[in-house]
Amino acid sequence: MKSKRSVNFAFLLIFSLIAFQQNSSWAEKTPEEWGTPSNGFQLGLALQGGKFSDEDPISIIIATRNADDQPHWIMQSGINDYEFILTNERGEFIRRKPDGVRLGKGMIESSAWNPPLAQVQIEPGKQEQLQTDLRTLFSLKTAGRYQLTIIRSVPDLSSIGKVKHKPKFKNLLSNSVEFSILPSTKSQAGGE
């Protein structure tokens, strides 16, 4: 008899593949803007759309590009490689949902990357991408304008081969994207 965990994993895997196929043309999108090159890398962020209802998925692509003329590697383990800086129109930081809440609601993350905790080499001018829905990470029901920037650690290229056990890492900052959550139509329809 299969355990509940393996059945849930199989369902999540199938659902992820379906969601990825439905968004495959979007998943091939490359960010038009990038953060400042640093340490041989650039971090880019693209948003599918700019205005969302209080229930629409808010799909983003996060791309790490090799901006150097030599191949370089990054460590990858998925969505937890990134720090999300999300603010509202008043400049207030929006907190991420706790991991248990995100996973309990079936966090979907589609990636063309290798298995988690892998060291991946990126060729010059090439990029690695990750696509996710911001709603799996944040509760975004309040109407208003928001701004998102992302940070990730990349190897400090000057430390490679000079440190005995592990290279040092530096933070890489993405471009910023802005989007709006529109007022709920449910509350307007209920008042009539």
CA distances from 73 to 45, 84, 97, 154 (A): 20, 22, 30, 8
Structural domain boundaries of the chain?
Answer: 4-190
Please list the ranges in the chain whose pLDDT falls under 50. 4-24, 26, 100-116, 189-192
pLDDT score of 161 = 58
User: 179: Cβ–Cβ under 8 A, 6 or more apart, which residues?
Assistant: 47, 49, 50, 51, 52, 58, 145, 146, 148
Structure tokens at 76: 């990858």
- Asked whether 147 and 91 are in contact (CB, 8 A), the reply is no
Question: CA-CA distance, 176 to 34, in Å (whole number)?
Answer: 9
> pTM for the complete prediction?
0.73
Residue 118's pLDDT is 76
Closest among 108, 116, 98 to 134, alpha carbons compared: 108
Q: What pLDDT digit, counting tens, does each position of 110-157 carry?
A: 444 434 467 889 999 999 998 999 999 999 989 999 999 999 988 877
Predicted pLDDT of residue 151: 95
Look at residue 186 in the predicted model and tell me its pLDDT: 67
CATH topology of domain 4-190: Immunoglobulin-like (2.60.40)
**Measured between alpha carbons, how far is 66 from 82 in angstroms, rounded to an integer?**
17
